[in-house]
Amino acid sequence: MSVELHTVVALLCIIISYCAGYFFSMKKHVAEGVNYILDYLRTKGYISIRINKDGEQELITINELIVEYNNHKR
């Protein structure tokens, strides 16, 4: 293997590793940011959330809130 080919292969490995690390770390940061925003909006009363059977957060639609409100009002 020539020096030039070895250098190109090594640089490609470094670039691929960098891109993979960047992609996976951004995915984690985006998920944390979304969770933060949902928690903030929920605590301020702008949205309503319920936890489904899988443990994930679901937004409650306005129609469901109105029906729930009317049922409790009676």
In tens, the pLDDT along 3-48 reads 999 999 999 999 999 998 888 888 778 888 888 998 899 898 888 8
- Residue 58 belongs to what H/E stretch? strand 57-59
Tell me the residue type at 18.
Answer: Y
pTM score above 0.85: no
- How far is 59 from 38, CA to CA, in rounded Å? 9
Q: What is the pLDDT of residue 46?
A: 86
- How far is 4 from 71, CA to CA, in rounded Å? 75
The three-point CA angle 34-38-42 to 5° equals: 170
Q: What is the pLDDT of residue 5?
A: 93
Residue 57 bridge partners (DSSP): 51
